Every structure is written in C-alpha cells, then in structure tokens.
Chain A
Amino acid sequence: MTGGPRVVVVGASIGGLTAAETLRQEGFDGDVILIGDERHRPYNRPPLSKQIIVGDWEPEDAGIRSETEIDDLGIELRTSCTAEALDALGRVLHTSQGEIPFDELIIATGTEPRRHPLVPTALTLRTMDDALTIRDGLRSARRVAVIGPGILGSEIASAARKYGADTRLIGRSGTLTFGGVGALLSAQLVELHEANGVELSLDAEIVGASTDAGGTTIEFADGSTERAALVVAMIGGVPRAQWLLSSTLTVDNGVVCDGTGQAAPGISAIGDVAAWRDPYTGRPVRVEHQSNAIEQAIAVALRLVHGETGSRPVPLFWSELHGTRINAFGWFDPELPLVPFVGGAEPHPTVLVSRDAADRVHGAIGWNAPPREFRVARAAVAESSSLAPLP
C-alpha cells in the first residue's frame, strides 16, 4: 500500500490484467488491486474451447502471468474474491472479502453463458473448470449434442468429432454464425462441418428435454428426438452486471459507457461487460471478442495515466474448426456479401472481404490463409477504418 491513488480492477481475466499491467508500465505508482472470483490466476479464455477441451493443453498452458510476475509488477491479486455491490458516489466496492475504497474502478467482469431454459442440464462453457468438465465428458461420450450455432458451438462440435463422438449441432435460425461476421460464412461452415461428419439441425425448435443417468433426450417441435450422452449449450452470453443493478450506473445489456470507456466519474468498464458508445453511430455497442477487451483495457489505462483518448479498436477473432483456421478482422455488414480479396494485382483466394460500393474494405476473413496474405487484407481494413465513418 502506497497511500497514493488507488485503482481497483474487478475481473482478473485478460481485460482486467491488461489494464493493471498497462497502468504499471505507464508509470502509475498508486495501488493497483486486481480481484477475480475464480480460484485460478489469470488465464486466456479462447483456448478453453480449443486446446483445453481437446486435451492438447493442460490448464497451466493457458495461464497468462505467474504469481511472481504479477507480484513483480506491484499488482495485488485477490483470487476467489467476488464483487457484490458498488457505491459509485462514495467510491467503495463491496466484495466477498470486505469493502475496498477506490479512486478509480475498472469493471471487467465479462459475460456468463445463458442457460438453455428447456435443457437446464446442458453444460455451458465460461471458466477453466467448465472446460475441464466438458473435456472429461468428451473423453467418454459416444454421442454429443451441441446447442448453439455460433463460434463456440462450432468449436465444441469440432472437438467432439476429434474425440470420435457422433456429433449433432443444433440451431434454430437456419444458419451458422461466426461472431461479428454473422451468418455471412454460414454456407462455408455448413460444408466444413458436414465434410467432417457433424450432423446439422439448424432450424430445430427444442420443446423439451429429460435427463437420466445415461444422458439427455432432447425433444423437437416436429416430434423427433435427440439422445446424447453429453449436451453442451452455447446460446449467447449475458453481461455479468447483476451486482451493479443497485448502483447508479446505467446497465442496459452491459455497463453503458461513453466513447472512452467511462461509465461515471471514477468508474470505467472494459471488455465483454462494457457497452462503449460508438463514435460513429452514437449507440452503445458491446463486443464479445478478446482483442476488444485488450484494446479497451489499454485505452482506459492510458486515459487514467496520461489523459489520452485512443482510437476505435478493430475487432479481431479467430477459430480452428476441424483443422481449418479461420481468422476475422474488422466489421461485417450483413447486407454486403463477402468477395475474394484482390490486393495490388494479386488475387488472394484464401481471403474474403467485406467491401462497400466506395471500394472500402471493412472486414477481412482468412480461410486457411497464409498469415502474410491475411495481413495484406488486414492492413487494407485498418487503412479504411481510419478514413471515414463506417455503417
């Protein structure tokens, strides 16, 4: 304790940790307290649905920083500590380990998976412990059902096939989606899953389910059923902001912030839980991608230390499904079909882009693209995004 100004960061995942680290690297010399409600030290979440559930990595491989490194930076890490309420005007955080007064608070509590109302026994994935439970289930399940047409559903289905399980991927919108890309890649994803033996039911309406010792039976509106030893549901995330409902902050699908991440004087929010006002549309937008959490964390730390306000982060996300690596960078308008990227005179058949009528590239997707080719398209997105407002 220095007795100087104190920054408290709630949420010890990549966003919270990056904020704490950047404060120190930029010379902030007051207290930095990082609290997390899990028992683990900070770890990366993207590998949970990738390397961890397929068993390529052990939990320690996903760790971001050791206790020693965190200690050396002068960051006080409190694990198994849950934020319970906030006195925003009095600047006091109430936690399961007592009250913590602060000068600046950074909220980085992320999201939690929405549970399926009709299949309450379905597993979900948010934490390392969730991932280990799913990994153990995949090791023995002969048949797996995955509910949810997004990246996480696709990744879990891909992992189940890697274990050799019969696998069914269930959605109800008729399409598969890929984060901020929406359904623009649906046809390619359908082809990829089918080529790798995943059964797809993409317009299936679940009407009920029952679970016994041997597994779960899911009932559909058309009278058919699915019987699986393991069921995982990844049907979207809910901001972990319930603990803020009694505070004076505006919580509306996330903590509503201005364009610099400030929710109220002395209080900022970053990452999946935060809805920053978009500088172009004026609307609060929540982005559930790791790169966004990192960039917002850096932006808030620089603002707190130097008063700087930074530029608009460009979303970056990636996946690996059945051995195919898919990268996405930028923004994707559902009305703009993806077209092959042409950079200079060279065609790049592994790169698809979202290109508008004015020839600006808003987003790029690499489909097993060599990294150098994808970077050419990424640079085009970065150039376009700094020029003019986006839709």
Chain B
Amino acid sequence: MGIVVQRDACVGAGQCALVAPDLFDQDDDGIVLLLEPNPEGALVDAATRAARLCPARAIAVSVP
C-alpha cells in the first residue's frame, strides 16, 4: 500500500496521528507529517481508517 499526504489541504485535526501513530505525526502547527509511505500488514487497516477519518481528505491510500 502507498500513502500520499497533501500538507496544504491538512486542517490539523490530528485524527491520523491518533489512529495510526506509526504512520503519521504532526508538526508544531498540527499539520500532518508522513512517517511511513509504504505500510504493510496490520498498518494497512490503520492507514485506511486514518484516510477515512481525515476531514480534509488530505490522505490518499492506494493499493498497487
């Protein structure tokens, strides 16, 4: 699975970093930081949930 984040669309809700702290972090303004662009295993479900919960749809996940 591949993850792409759009930092300029992020509104800093922080849902991603809460549900998938291994994949996402936030900078001091709350804007998303992508830690792992290619998750595997159990992290795939966490990435899907993070993308769905994002109110700005700033996270795109793709299955190769």
Contact = CB atoms under 8 A, between A and B. Distances in A.
Nearest to B17: A375
Given A22-B52, A291-B53, A46 B14 contact: no
Contacts of A378: 14, 18
Q: Which of B12, B13, B26 has the most CB of A within 10 A?
A: B13
A47 to B, nearest CB: 7
B13 A291 contact: yes
Interface in B1-44: 9, 11-15, 17-18, 21, 25-28, 30
Given A25-B48, A325-B30, A371 B14 contact: yes
Contacts, number: 55
A255 to B, nearest CB: 22
Nearest to A297: B52
Contact of A290 (B9, B25, B55): B55
A44 B55 contact: yes
A375 B18 contact: yes
B52 A298 contact: yes
The dominant DSSP class at the B interface is loop
Contact of A46 (B28, B48, B53, B55): B55
A371 B11 contact: no
Indicate the size class of the contact surface on chain B: 20 to 34
A251 B25 CA distance: 41
A108 to B, nearest CB: 15
Contact of B28 (A44, A290, A371): A371
Interface of A: 14, 18, 21-22, 25, 44, 46-47, 61, 64-65, 290-291, 294-295, 298, 316, 318, 325, 327, 370-372, 374-375, 378-379, 382
30 contacts: A14-B55, A18-B52, A22-B52, A25-B48, A25-B52, A44-B55, A44-B56, A46-B11, A46-B55, A64-B57, A291-B15, A294-B53, A294-B55, A295-B53, A298-B52, A298-B53, A316-B14, A318-B12, A325-B12, A327-B14, A371-B12, A371-B14, A371-B17, A371-B26, A371-B28, A375-B17, A375-B18, A375-B21, A379-B18, A382-B18
